[in-house]
Amino acid sequence: MTLDVPSMAGPRTSWAIIDRLAKSDPGAFEWQLNLSVAYSKLGDVFTKQSNREGMIDSLTYFLAYFYPRIAVLDDYNVWDRMNFMDSHEFYSDFNDYIVTINAPKNYVVWGTGTLQHPENVLQPEILKRFNESFTSNQVIHVATKEELAAGKVTTQNAMNSWQFTAKNIPDMTFGISDHYIWDAGSVVVDDATKRRASVQAAYLNAAADYRFMVKFGKHALDWLSHNWPGVPYPYQKTSIIQGFADMEYPMMVNDSHQANPAFARFVAEHEIAHTWYRRPQDLPGDVDPGGLEATCGYKPQRDSGTFSYAAHAVTVAVDPELGDVEILDYVIVEDGGKLVNPMVVDGQIYGGLAQGIGTALYEEMPFDINGQPLATTFADYLLPGPTEVPEPRLDHIETLAPYTEFGVKGIGEGGAIAPPAAIANAVNDALKGLGAELLCSPITPRRVLESIAAAKLRRASAAVPAGARS
């Protein structure tokens, strides 16, 4: 691959097969990609496009999915015919790669595989730090912002050839920049052989979370190799490049900058963990290559169930002419103990509210005198929709359950049980001036009008003198 000097001429991309290596390996071939680094400038705004690949900024690029793929031939679907698109992860076979990136001086290249002859592309001091990082437990600043700006990092040839080799991998990617800071370190991933894996990070100076990224990556490789799945990291390194994709590739991660370093660590470790799936053939014989799975059970000290507490309050408007009931406001306060996942809890309550509104106002299963159901379709069996279910005001209090892990409680029932009673009380409060009262659900317009009519009849009957009644 050749990366030309940056230009303003516009995009120019082409590839061509140069030579087929049929003599040495019938399944091997070479290709070349000529990439002219181009961008447009509109005022002070640089336009760029980058997802899982592409331009990160005007002088930084992440190259992935850019080379011709060999379709997989398997025993399940014969030839894989899925389109290769930037938005999808590919189904790739395992191959050996030798890739050369020709880049202008002062551009550093990070890539899948092992960098061959680093002495040809790095100046002596940078090379010394780079080599030290493979045996050091410390985070080493291989190249600083100032050294990059001063041209003290790469050899000063007009073009430098960065060659990477990798065996038995499903994919390969590369990051290229002339101003990304470069950190590196390493960690033991296989205690039996004392094999170390390198962790490298490339990032903008302003990305504070990336200053800890090598430390995050080392922790991920160490913990995952020794605990879960407990299989030594299958590659010789991982490089974490600041970009936009939040996506993993063999030995490479393209992650966005995060304001919260804890979340940045979570994203990086999440992506690194995915790479264990990329080498199922290297798993021990007693590990299922179909994937990683963990199953556990939990029984509380007192297994009598856990119950949440809730209070519901509702304001309704009742149309005495039509019998229609409109919910104007709905407030819920729940005590679910310790909320392990608040979004799931809120979803349970919202869903329960919708179910309770259906019970209170719409859903009914009537039968005729012969026991035949009269609600056999959704035209007869009414359900609340988005226009009938309001967005409630929801608050939580936290009283820990004494006999469960973390003090959690059950939550699913709280949203559904209270609405019928709360809505019925609100409707009766609205109708009390008319002397009407409803004691069954659903509170349909017909029942509201019948209740109002019955109240009028009672008032009229009470107004007739006792001696004048027939």
Does residue 37 fall inside a structural domain?
A: yes
Encode pLDDT of 263-301 as tens digits.
Answer: 999 999 999 998 876 666 666 677 666 655 677 787 777
Domain residues for the domain of 447 are 309-463
In a domain, 303, yes or no: no
* Residue 275 one-letter amino acid: T
Q: Please check whether residues 247 and 320 belong to one and the same domain.
A: no
Give the span between the Cα atoms of 210 and 254, in whole angstroms: 12
Single out the residue in 282, 297, 325 at which a domain terminates.
Answer: 282
Backbone angles phi, psi at 208, to 5 degrees: -65, -35
Cβ atoms of residues 170 and 92 within 8 Å: yes
Do residue 181 and residue 123 come from a single domain? yes
CA 210 to CA 180: how far, in whole Å? 11
- Considering the domain architecture, whether residues 172 and 319 belong to the same structural domain is answered as no
Q: Does the global pTM surpass 0.85?
A: no
Question: Cα(271)–Cα(243) distance, rounded to whole angstroms?
Answer: 13
Q: What is the pLDDT along the chain (470 residues), one digit of tens a residue?
A: 444 443 333 344 333 333 333 344 444 445 555 554 433 333 333 335 556 777 888 889 888 876 666 677 777 777 877 776 666 666 777 888 898 999 999 999 999 999 999 999 999 999 999 999 999 999 999 999 999 999 999 999 999 999 999 998 888 899 999 999 999 999 999 999 999 999 999 999 999 999 999 999 999 999 999 998 888 998 999 999 999 888 888 999 999 999 999 999 999 999 999 887 666 666 667 766 665 567 778 777 777 777 788 999 999 999 999 999 999 999 999 998 998 888 889 999 999 999 999 999 999 999 999 999 998 898 889 899 889 999 999 999 999 988 888 888 888 767 788 999 999 999 999 999 999 999 999 999 999 999 999 999 998 888 777 666 55
Within a domain: residue 79?
A: yes
Does any domain span residue 291? no
Picking from 243, 267, 282, the residue at the C-terminal end of a domain is 282
Same domain, 128 and 248: yes
Helices (DSSP H) in 150-303: which residue ranges? Answer: 213-226, 261-274
Helix (H) or strand (E) holding 315: strand 309-318
The count of domains in the chain is 2
Q: Could you tell me if 347 and 456 lie in one domain?
A: yes
**Residue 304: inside a domain:** no
Write down the pLDDT at residue 54: 77
Residues 27 and 169 in one domain: yes
Instruction: Measure Cα distances from 221 to 184, 227, 234, 239 in Å.
Output: 14, 10, 10, 12
Structure tokens at 406: 């973390």
Same domain, 213 and 325: no
Backbone φ/ψ region at 420: left (φ over 0), alpha (ψ -120 to 50), beta:
alpha
Residue 216 contacts residue 265 (beta carbons within 8 Å) = yes
Pair 32, 78 in one domain: yes
Do 77 and 112 fall within a single domain?
yes
215 plus 323 within the same structural domain: no
d(CA 179, CA 202): 9
- DSSP per-residue letters across 199-239: EEEEE-TT-GGGGGHHHHHHHHHHHHHHTSS-S--SSSEEE
Residue 142 CA from chain centroid, whole number: 32
Q: Which residue, among 253, 135, 145, has the nearest Cα to 207 in the 3D structure?
A: 145
Looking at the structure, tell me whether residues 371 and 420 fall in a common domain.
Answer: yes
**Count of alpha carbons within 13 angstroms of residue 37, beta-carbon side:** 22
Q: Is residue 290 part of a domain?
A: no
Residue 305 · residue 289 · CB < 8 Å: no
Are residues 407 and 276 located together in one domain of the fold?
no
Name the DSSP letter for residue 38.
B
pLDDT, tens only, 39-83: 333 333 333 555 677 788 888 988 887 666 667 777 777 787 777
Tell me if 302 is assigned to some domain: no
Q: Which residues pair with 79 in a beta bridge?
A: 73
In a domain, residue 223? The reply is: yes
Residue 343: give its domain's CATH number: 3.30.365.10
